[in-house]
Amino acid sequence: MYLFKKGLVIIFGSIFIALGINLFLVPYEILDGGVIGIGLIFNYLWGVKTGATIILFSIPIFVVAWYKYREYFYNSLHGMIISSFFIDLFKPFSQLVILESVPSALVGGSLVGIGIGFMLRYRTSTGGTDLVAQFISAKTGVNVGINIFVIDSLVLVVGGLLLSMDSFLLSIMTILSVALSTSLIARKTKPHPNSPITA
């Protein structure tokens, strides 16, 4: 029963992420952090599918996870694949809702954060650069949160240089909205009754 609920939550969370990205971020070329942000940069600049790019860039991360962080691999692989699928599936909806740029950045970030938050409540995620942050932390002793912040900041800076200053500023608003909504939704993580695997 827990695994069934977890599967539904992954689908539910992935839909929220995909809607947030396609309806509110894509119209203004706004970025999120991490691998999703990298996928969006490739989409904005070269028209490459965002979800496909996320999977491509996640492959080496999950190879490392298989050997170094096996629990992370099991907890995140399905979330990464399903969320990437929905991100590409909902791409045609990018002109469905029209808001001004600032509200769009805030609403899009909130929806992405809600999706991530619900997935974290059931000890799953979309994977991505969180593992890179954990790997750096294990090697250097630097706090994981600081590493995630640095990686996300690098993605935004590169995206801002390649796209525009407007994209950079709107993207900052977005990742703040993502962080706030994720923390509110994921505040209480659901316990796993049977499996020893933890997030």
- For residue 53, what pLDDT is reported? 96
Residue 56 sits at the vertex; the CA angle it makes with 183 and 95, to the nearest 5 degrees, is: 65
Whole-angstrom Cα distance, residue 145 to residue 199?
A: 15
**Residue 53 structure tokens:** 């790019």
Q: Mean pLDDT for the chain?
A: 88
Whole-angstrom Cα distance, residue 199 to residue 189?
A: 10
Domain residue extents for the chain? 2-185
pLDDT in tens, 117-134: 898 888 888 888 777 887
pLDDT in tens, 12-40: 999 999 999 999 999 999 999 999 999 99
Whole-angstrom Cα distance, residue 30 to residue 8?
A: 28
- Look at the chain and count its residues: 199
